Amino acid sequence: MITMLAFALLVVSLVCVSARTRPAQASDLYTASRAVSPWWNASAISGEYISAAAFLGMAGLVLAYGADMLWLPIGAAAGHVVLLTLVTAPLRRSGAYTLSDFAAWRLGSRTARHAVSGCVVVIGWFYLLPQFQGAGVTLSVISGLPVWTGWVVVVLAVAALVFPGGMRSITGVQAVQFWLKLIAVVVPGLIFLAVWRLQNDADAARAPYFHRPTTVTAGASAGIQLTAPAFVAVRGVVDGRRHRGERIRLGAGVHRVRAGARLRFPAGAAVPHTSHLKLLRGDRWATPFAGGRNHPLAATYSVLLGVLLGTMGLPHLVVRFYSNACGRAARRTASLVVLMLAAFYLFPALFGTLGRLYTPELLMTGETDATLLMLPHRILPGLAGDLLTILVATGAFAAFASTSCGVVVAVSGSIARGCGGGVSGLRLSALITMAVPLLLASLTCAPQSTALITLAFAVAASSLCPLLVLGVWWWRLTPAGAVAGVVAGGGPAAAAGLARILGGQRGGWPGMLIEQPALVTVPLGFAVMIGVSLLTRATVPAHTGRAMARMHLPEDVAPERRA
């Protein structure tokens, strides 16, 4: 109840901040009047970027797959460096409101606008779905409420924050939320580390085991794999037989556990793994490319490529730089974002490592996104654990709300601008934007939050990244080439994402490419965009020279060009 009251207080305070800024014109609605300072905008971008995947999912991935997952925060920070180098200032000087506006302005094509709008919508849906799932997991863990209540809470909070004034109303909200999220990981992280060092009774190098007698409840029917026999008290159905609390011997191997079954393991027993997680012992867990996934080396390169290039194609991130006053301010903003994200990403690896020590049963249930939420009570039972749980849960809710607000504004803004709508059009588009992922959130095969986020990165890297890089730096880009590249790169990446959500996991190379398609779809998107543009070079827009000059000449050289 205390945590729920903290949620309510957070939402009310943020709504008050949001309601103080009401839009007077389109520039307020979409770009906050282009008057946001670099420090404030960097805080807002960082708050928007730290989503459910970063706040909860990264710790869970480190718990499950070990050091192999540390490439994700490295790719995220490096992606902002690439964004700063190639896109930030020229894109700001273009004067466009959204990525769809940029495509229409640069190429003079309504077809290109519609293709980009379609990609923006798909990326937004992939990004919103894990925010809803993370909110459901958070409320379920801390309160026992049904998972769907978390989805509803996030939707209502986003509507309350976005409706008053679009980009202008959420800028201050997201900036405040970044610092709240940073406090929510720094304070528990330092306390957890100090307690662990004082106890000094856990070793992350050995295979996960139960440090004390532990009862695990199966949330869904699944297979679990035991590496050694164990005597377990079972209440429920295991291997097709119903048990009423008696102690039975489970041999090494795979056992089927029905949803709702309760298994009590003794202290010292090895932790079973859910059937879709590979067992990683000691050095394998602590070593990159150790084999926790299908074709780990290729998968790592693929996810790095997707995160590195997908950062510059995320619509809710790129649109933020339009709110800076000029290109130089946009560059300063991007530089600050790198530093802020680097500070935050020091902690998910710590939480994942501690999760392997204190919450190993999550490897059995597969609910690794709950790692950070469960750590406070495992490390510090009692009032201290309660207070840290409230802090962590409030930070998690801020992550869901902040990212969801940014995605909803970017996606609904792209839809509304294409339809010529104002405030009412943005609000209607926002409702449509949230409706589809809310429906998809009920699908049982939806993967972990970080897996969904990396799929959104893959779609962005395969479609919008080629458009931005070539649109900013290559004058030969044609409307036909841009549309063909967006479809050829983004289409297969989006199809892989849907297959991942609807069909679950697969093995071998097909499974790896469905989980991380960027290794194939990014080169495909660039190659098709360049090839078709060369074949249709006669259709290069007549205003291309003026557009390139506007993007690359500094504002103080040509002040009359400033947007």
**Sign of the dihedral through C-alpha 508, 510, 514, 518:** positive
Both 492 and 530 in one domain: the answer is yes
Shared domain check, 73 and 188: yes
- 255/108 same-domain check: no
260 shares a domain with 112: no
Q: Is residue 38 part of a domain?
A: yes
Residue at 21 is within a domain: no
Which CATH number is 473's domain given?
1.20.1740.10
Domain boundary among the residues 245, 270, 295 is at 270
Domain identity same for 188 and 163 = yes
**Domain assignment present for 93:** yes
User: Considering the domain boundaries, does residue 12 fall inside one?
Assistant: no
Flag whether 207 is in a domain: no
Tell whether 175 and 306 lie within a shared domain: yes
CB atoms under 10 Å from CB of 475, counted, come to 12
Amino acid 559: pLDDT: 42
Domain assignment present for residue 118? The answer is: yes
Q: Residue written as tokens 């209502």?
A: 156
What residue type is 180 in one-letter code? Answer: L
Residues 322 and 236 in one domain: no
**In this structure, are 367 and 479 located in the same domain?**
yes
Q: CA-to-CA distance for 448 and 248, rounded, in angstroms?
A: 32
Write out the two tokens for 25: 């014109």
pLDDT at 268: 80
Strands, DSSP E only, in 186-239? Answer: 214-217, 222-226, 230-238
Say whether both 45 and 105 belong to one domain: yes
- Residue 186's pLDDT is 93
Distances (CA, A) of 117 to 357, 414, 464: 45, 6, 10
Asked if the structure places residue 488 within a domain, the reply is yes
Q: Would you write out the chain's pLDDT as a tens digit for each of its 563 residues? A: 666 666 666 666 666 655 555 554 554 555 555 567 788 888 888 888 887 778 888 888 888 887 777 888 888 888 888 888 888 888 888 877 778 888 999 999 889 988 998 888 888 888 888 888 777 777 777 777 777 787 888 788 777 777 665 555 677 777 888 888 899 999 999 999 888 888 765 555 566 777 778 888 876 777 888 878 888 999 999 888 899 888 888 888 888 888 888 888 888 888 887 766 666 666 677 666 655 566 777 888 888 899 889 888 888 787 777 777 676 777 888 888 888 988 898 898 889 888 888 888 787 777 788 888 889 988 888 888 888 988 888 888 888 777 887 788 778 777 776 665 556 666 777 788 888 887 777 665 555 556 678 888 899 999 999 999 999 999 999 999 999 999 999 999 998 888 877 765 666 777 788 888 999 999 999 999 999 999 999 999 999 999 999 888 876 665 444 44
- Residue 242 belongs to what domain range? 214-270
Q: Give the model's pLDDT for residue 107.
A: 92
> How many CB atoms sit inside 10 A of residue 552's CB?
14
Are residues 256 and 386 located together in one domain of the fold? no
According to the 3-state scheme, what is the secondary structure of 43-87?
HHHHHHHCCHHHHHHHHHHHHHHHHHHHHHHHHHHHHHHHHHHHC
Total count of domains within the chain:
2
pLDDT at residue 428, as a whole number: 77
Same domain assignment for residues 134 and 238: no
CB burial readout 180-217, b (16+ within 10 A) else e:
bbbebbeebbeebeeebeeeeeeebeebbbbeeebebe
pLDDT at 3: 62
Q: What is the pLDDT of residue 443?
A: 62
- What pLDDT score does 561 carry? 45
Q: Are residues 255 and 350 in the same domain?
A: no
Asked if the structure places residue 57 within a domain, the reply is yes
Q: Which of 246, 270, 294 is the last residue of a domain?
A: 270
Identify the pLDDT of residue 429.
78
The pLDDT, as a whole number, for residue 313 is 82
